Copies of this chain bind each other. A is one copy, B any other.
Amino acid sequence: MRRDIFQAIADPTRRAILVLLAVQAMTPNAIAEHFEIKRQSISKHLRILSECDLLKPRQEGREIFYELKIDKMKEIDIWLDQFRKIMEQSFKQLDDVLYTLKNKKK
């Protein structure tokens, strides 16, 4: 079980489920209506997403509403931050180069 958030969003069906649940909590059957796969397969996806802490199930009678834990999505953002920082740094270095060139011209 690798089961990290990146592996979770690797599957296009799971990404679509996340988008659906971002709008409103839904039951497995309701979700399955939006796809061409069986409810049981949806359940498998829901299990994976839940294990990654991306979803929170809420039992209501015999139904289970899965809701998105949107905060968890921040983890992806945090990972992307590395690149934003490195990019900034690259621009800074580029600035330095430009600055040096400018001074040499003088």
Please, how many residues of chain A have a CB less than 8 angstroms from a CB on the other chain? 22
A94 on interface, CB distance cutoff 8 Å: no
Question: Which 10 A-B residue pairings sit nearest by Cβ, starting from the closest?
Answer: A10-B10, A22-B86, A7-B10, A6-B10, A73-B83, A22-B83, A6-B9, A70-B87, A70-B83, A19-B82
Chain B residues near A80 (CB-CB < 8 A): 73, 76-77, 80
Per-position contact with B for A50-77: 1 when CB-CB < 8 Å, else 0? Answer: 0000000000000000000010010011
**A positions within 8 Å CB-CB of B:** 2, 4, 6-7, 9-10, 12, 15, 18-19, 22-23, 70, 73, 76-77, 79-80, 82-83, 86-87
* Min CB–CB distance A70 → chain B (angstroms): 6
CB distance from A54 to the nearest CB of B (A): 11
Chain B residues, Cβ within 8 Å of A83: 18-19, 22, 70, 73
